[in-house]
Amino acid sequence: MRVLIVEDEARLARNIAKALRETASYAVDISTDGEDGRHQALSNPYDLVVLDLMLPKVGGLEILRDLRRRGNRVPVLILTARDSAQDIVQGLDTGSDDYMTKPFDMGEFLARCRALVRRTYDRPDPVVRVGELAVDISSRVVTLRGRPIPLRAMEYRLLEYLALRAGQVVSRAEILEHLYDFNAETFSNVIEVHISTLRKKLDAGSPGTLIQTIRGLGYVIRETPV
């Protein structure tokens, strides 16, 4: 999953980004002014936008209005010091999906982010099950036939994305867009490498393979391995 944080308090933005990367395994981009934030939000397929309201150049509500007017459906969580009931109503009525006021609890913030992402992928249950695979996106614990599978951060991020989109063929371009932030250094076969290590861990002792390669199109996880 990939998140955009539009926040002009650089330290707060960094703290949020660190928490999202480390505890939710999200790729994170940061914009520190409204103009850049709007541009980024419109140019990349984010899974979530965390939006401050009082921003240099372009305010958060204006960004939100622009996104929705253009038909952009990205989940938006407003994170702001503006805490009056009137502000909250206005934020939600402008098209935000959630609203949190500063100061805030990081654990609650992260849980709200996960809930918004689950909803985007139409997964109300935090444990995503695909056949005998279970991916708990709250705890990031992966089990196969009840056995825990230890994964590295990028392997987890990739498997979670494929599991959330189970049954659909996911292209390399989509994987790159949704799992890597702007500053990530990717090499040409980075996805193949992660797929290969995931297969070693997931297919051990099984005659089939859980993650199928669809030549020229991408990868898919299905209920029944082949």
Least distance CB 52 / Ca ion (angstroms): 4
Which residue's CB is nearer to Ca ion, number 63 or number 179?
63
Which residue's CB is nearer to Ca ion, number 82 or number 194?
82
Q: Which stretch binds Ca ion (CB under 5 A): 11-19, 45-53, 152-160, 166-174?
A: 45-53
Which residue's CB is nearer to Ca ion, number 10 or number 184?
10
Q: Which stretch binds Ca ion (CB under 5 A): 16-24, 37-45, 46-54, 67-75?
A: 46-54
Q: Which stretch binds Ca ion (CB under 5 A): 6-14, 30-38, 124-132, 213-221?
A: 6-14
Distance (Å) of CA 183 to CA 120, 134, 145? 25, 31, 36
Q: Which stretch binds Ca ion (CB under 5 A): 51-59, 105-113, 173-181, 201-209?
A: 51-59
Which residue's CB is nearer to Ca ion, number 8 or number 87?
8
- Regarding 54 and contact with Ca ion (CB under 5 A), the answer is yes
Beta-carbon contacts of 45 under 8 Å, excluding residues fewer than 6 positions away, are 2, 74, 174, 177, 178
In the bound state, the residue with its beta carbon closest to Ca ion is 54
Interface positions, 7-26, toward Ca ion (CB under 5 A): 8
Which residue's CB is nearer to Ca ion, number 9 or number 66?
9
Closest CA to 64 of 13, 53, 56: 53
Least distance CB 23 / Ca ion (angstroms): 24
- Regarding 31 and contact with Ca ion (CB under 5 A), the answer is no
Least distance CB 78 / Ca ion (angstroms): 11
Distance CA 52, CA 61 (A): 9
- Regarding 160 and contact with Ca ion (CB under 5 A), the answer is no
Least distance CB 179 / Ca ion (angstroms): 28
- Regarding 52 and contact with Ca ion (CB under 5 A), the answer is yes
95, exposed or middle or buried, with CB in 10 Å at 0-12, 13-18, 19+? middle
Q: Which residues of this chain interact with Ca ion, rule CB under 5 A? A: 8, 52, 54
